[in-house]
Amino acid sequence: MFKSRKRIALDDPSLERVKLTPQMLDYDRFASRGRSQYLPYVMGFNAADYRSPSINTDRLGFRIAHDAQGQPISAASLGTHAPKAVNLLVGASSALGYGASSDAASVASRLAAQDPDGTPWLNFAGHCFNSTQELMLFVLHLHRLPKVRKIVVLGGFNTLVMARLPEFIRGDLPPYHFCGDYYEKFDEIAEENGGELPPVKLPKWPTETTAVPPIAHTVARAGEDTLNCLTTWKRLADSLGAELSFLMQPLATWVRKPCTEEQKLFDELDQISRFGTWQNLYGDISDPAVADHYADNLASGCHARGIRFCNLVDDLRQRPSDEWLFVDRAHYTDLGSDVVARAIHRNLQ
């Protein structure tokens, strides 16, 4: 446990993350709660019309991707000159390309650069999304798209994190990041309008009154939430004549021990994070054995539903141990994005 210390600004030039990954300062600003936009039915979504050297979004909040010719493309920019068909990369911040030094270096853009058919890939990912929000985003914007050939859902971790929340937060439907803010405000509105709340008001977010559930329970619940969404994805994909795949995202702690650059960044992030160390936050689900258990759960569920499943954790475990693939434990360097994109294409073939 780190002792209390003066908080270090994330843009302090003495930090390793500023020296090694200066693009993360753009992502810090992009991810600010003050920039996120409210989106009906999805809650929060990426900042719209965000501009920076590292990450840019269109008027709807979708990250700009590059096609095989290096031209920018996004859901809001299709218009009358849209390509005849597109592929979609769906997911949360990992699929969004959080950490890439430019839009051209994101996973979606690397997929387009390597696509054997030259089909453009649209970035259909949302920062901090879970599997339900990913599905809802697609439903809300499907009318904007030309023919969809491939839908690749790259995810797994955020839904696993949400599955660890206590029951008073979860309810009967999957929770989402920052949902506690919504619950508290809704209670305030209910009280102002004469609503009757429980005799003892529930703890404010993110206080938890119960211990983190057992790993087996967490994995089972996350698997159920994910597979429920994938069942709907499958029906939609079949109706569109699109090929659906679910790929389990690689997490640094699931893949291997960190290389030199990663170790410097991870240690420093633990010291400066205002939320606590990664081990304290996610240690129970960071073990490689948990990744294997989770992957087996999702693989069997996908197989039963006729959905292609690929575990990218296995792909990255085969990479050289000194490759610098991660800017933090969940997001990729430019090399990491390229490696992930190549692994996706190998699995799709």
- The stretches of the chain forming alpha helices (DSSP H) are 16-20, 24-30, 93-96, 107-114, 131-141, 157-162, 167-170, 179-192, 215-240, 252-255, 260-272, 278-282, 288-304, 312-317, 334-348
Quote the distance between the C-alpha of residue 348 and its chain's center: 20
Question: 203 and 290: one domain?
Answer: no
Question: 198 and 326: one domain?
Answer: no
Q: Quick check: 22 and 11 in contact, CB under 8 A?
A: no
pLDDT digits (tens, 9 = 90+) for 57-86: 999 999 999 999 999 999 999 876 789 999
Mean pLDDT in residue range 225-234 = 96
Q: Determine the pLDDT at residue 2.
A: 37
Q: Which two tokens stand for residue 163?
A: 């599955």
Question: 279 and 207: one domain?
Answer: no
Mean pLDDT in residue range 260-280 = 93
Least confident of 43-47, 154-158, 328-332: 43-47
CA angle 305, 306, 309 (to 5 degrees): 95
Question: 177 and 221: one domain?
Answer: no
Termini Cα distance of the chain? 46
How far is 28 from 41, CA to CA, in rounded Å? Answer: 25
pLDDT of 308 higher than 70: yes
Q: Determine the pLDDT at residue 106.
A: 98
Residue 176 one-letter amino acid:
Y
Residue 11 falls inside a structural domain: no
Q: DSSP readout, 61-97?
A: SPBPEE-TTS-EE-GGG-GGG--SEEEEEEESHHHHT
Residue 2 falls inside a structural domain: no
Beta-carbon contacts of residue 75 (< 8 Å; ≥ 6 apart): 58, 60, 62, 122, 124, 141, 144, 145
pLDDT of 171 higher than 80: no
Q: How far is CA 348 from CA 111, 235, 311, 343, in A?
A: 11, 19, 12, 9
Ranked by mean pLDDT, which of 37-41, 192-196, 222-226 comes out on top?
222-226
- At residue 38, φ and ψ (nearest 5 deg) are -75, 130
Question: 226 and 285: one domain?
Answer: yes
DSSP 48: T
**Structural domain for 149, as ranges:** 16-162+215-348
pLDDT digits (tens, 9 = 90+) for 177-218: 666 667 666 677 777 777 776 655 555 544 544 577 889 999
Q: Quick check: 67 and 129 in contact, CB under 8 A?
A: no
Overall domain count for the chain: 2
Q: Which two tokens stand for residue 301?
A: 């569920």
How far is 282 from 269, CA to CA, in rounded Å? Answer: 14
Question: 245 and 289: one domain?
Answer: yes
Q: Determine the pLDDT at residue 205.
A: 47
Name the average pLDDT for the chain. 89
Question: 172 and 101: one domain?
Answer: no
DSSP 57: B
How far is 48 from 2, CA to CA, in rounded Å? Answer: 37
Q: Quick check: 222 and 294 in contact, CB under 8 A?
A: yes
Closest alpha carbon to 160 in 25, 276, 313: 313
Residue 158 falls inside a structural domain: yes
Q: Determine the pLDDT at residue 34.
A: 76
Q: Determine the pLDDT at residue 144.
A: 94
